[in-house]
């Protein structure tokens, strides 16, 4: 008899492949496991909208995944993003994080700050950017300017040429960014919403692959229709079945039902392409236009 104890056999809950106890994929505290390939897909879905999807939770039981186990699955770029997120969760309620759009340097600011420019203190960067649009800001070519209050500088009667630079794309120009930021944020959010779909149960966001419109959430396992966004239980179905496939029966004749594949739509509407990826792009373009219209209705066109 061998003195060696056999390793405990585990399996990936997503694809069923057999795993060793010391496998490198996701392991949750409740002994649910993901193989390396399924872990990669899970991580990608998390970072499609990390602000909404973090902290990482087990797709099976919703228990939070240990940080060290999650971090070792990340590329250097994703690890930087994750560490930024973790830091942002530790700051006080009256604080916020500001970061340089050109490098990884960031600072913690008071939310009450009225500053509109970010001075990067990374020696290899030192860019000055607008905190609202992230673009570089042209400042007058005065070495002492960065260390003086703005109005003190104006008191020195800047040369007309330098003053014109500030009007074109410098300090004054970016004051408009501050004024329009609330409107811009609403528009940006509308565009972002149109480019993805959210699980109707847990809100995990993402974009489908080239396959059918039947979705299974990687976090909560909810089955739902990508086309209408409804859970399987809420979808209108044919009397012959009770699963999501019955939601696709007679979809051309029943407006409450949806096609199983996007490229089937051209059977009903010739404006839709035959290629599934082209159909998906058209679908999200229409979603974006709908989302933008809702945002503009809320804002009021008089603001433009």
For 10-88, the fitting CATH number among 3.40.50, 2.60.120, 3.30.390, 3.30.40 is: 3.30.40
Which DSSP symbol is given to 7? P
Give the pLDDT confidence score for residue 165 in this predicted structure. Answer: 55
Residue 153 is given by DSSP the state: H
Task: Find all residues with CB under 8 Å of 264, minimum gap 6, and list them.
Answer: 251
Alpha helices in the chain (DSSP H): 36-47, 50-53, 67-71, 76-88, 150-155, 160-169, 171-194, 276-299
Cα 155 to the center of its chain, rounded Å? 45
Query: The tokens of 115 are what?
Result: 């500053």
Asked if residues 82 and 54 have their Cβ atoms less than 8 Å apart, the reply is yes
Asked if 180 contacts 133 with a C-beta cutoff of 8 angstroms, the reply is no
Tokens 């969760």: give the residue: 89
* β-bridge pairing 128-130 and 117-119: antiparallel
pLDDT recorded at residue 4? 45
117: which strand partners? 130
What is the DSSP secondary structure assignment for residue 5, as one 8-state letter? P
Its pTM stands at 0.54
Tens-place pLDDT, residues 22-65:
899 999 898 899 999 999 999 988 888 887 888 898 888 888 99
* pLDDT recorded at residue 163: 53
pLDDT of residue 261: 94
Helices and strands, number each (H, E), in the chain: 8, 10
Domain ranges of the chain: 10-88, 95-188, 197-303
Say how many Å lie between the first and final Cα of the chain, rounded.
82
Distance (Å, whole) CA 78 – CA 123 = 23
The ranges of the chain with pLDDT < 70 are: 1-8, 139-172, 301-304
- In this predicted model, what pLDDT tens digit does every residue of 186-224 receive, in sequence order? 898 999 899 999 999 988 888 887 779 999 988 888 999
CA 246, 248, 253, 254 dihedral sign is positive
* Residue 234: per-residue pLDDT: 95
Tell me what pLDDT residue 2 has: 43
CA distance linking residue 232 with residue 303, whole number of Å: 41
Instruction: Judge whether 186 and 295 are in contact, CB under 8 Å.
Output: yes
Distances (CA, A) of 223 to 16, 160, 163, 220, 245: 19, 64, 60, 9, 11
Residue 245 per-residue DSSP state: G
Pick from 99, 131, 135, 101: nearest CA to 116: 131
C-alpha angle 153-156-162 in degrees, rounded to nearest 5:
75
SS3 189: helix
Beta bridge mates, 96: 109
Distance of CA 149 to the CA centre of its chain: 37
pLDDT at 65: 92
- What backbone torsions phi and psi does residue 91 show, to the nearest 5 degrees? -80, 160
Place of tokens 């872990």: 39
């Amino acid at each position: 008899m061998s003195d060696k104890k056999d390793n405990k056999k585990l399996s990936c809950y997503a694809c069923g492949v057999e795993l060793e106890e010391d496998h490198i994929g996701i392991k949750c505290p409740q002994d649910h496991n993901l193989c390396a390939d399924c872990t990669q897909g899970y991580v990608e879905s998390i970072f499609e909208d990390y602000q909404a999807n973090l902290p990482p939770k087990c797709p099976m039981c919703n228990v939070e995944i240990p940080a060290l186990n999650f971090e070792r699955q990340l590329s250097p770029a994703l690890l930087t993003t994750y560490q930024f997120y973790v830091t942002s969760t530790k700051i006080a309620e009256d604080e916020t994080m500001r970061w340089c759009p050109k490098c990884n340097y960031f600072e913690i600011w008071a939310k009450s700050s009225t500053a509109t420019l970010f001075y990067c203190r990374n020696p290899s960067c030192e860019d000055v950017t607008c905190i609202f649009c992230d673009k570089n800001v042209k400042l007058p070519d005065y070495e002492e300017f960065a260390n003086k209050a703005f109005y003190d500088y104006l008191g020195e009667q800047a040369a007309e040429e330098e003053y014109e630079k500030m009007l074109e794309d410098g300090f004054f120009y970016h004051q408009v960014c501050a004024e329009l930021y609330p409107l811009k944020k609403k528009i940006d959010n509308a565009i972002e919403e149109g480019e993805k779909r959210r699980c109707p149960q847990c809100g995990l966001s993402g974009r489908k692959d080239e396959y059918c419109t039947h979705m299974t959430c990687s976090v909560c396992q909810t089955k739902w229709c990508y086309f209408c966004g409804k859970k399987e239980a809420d979808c209108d179905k044919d009397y012959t079945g009770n699963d999501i496939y019955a939601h696709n029966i007679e979809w051309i004749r029943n407006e409450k039902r949806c096609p199983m594949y996007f490229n089937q739509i051209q059977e009903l509407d010739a404006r839709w392409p035959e290629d599934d990826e082209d159909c998906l792009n058209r679908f999200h373009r229409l979603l974006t236009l709908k989302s933008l219209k809702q945002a503009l209705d809320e804002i009021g066109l008089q603001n433009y």
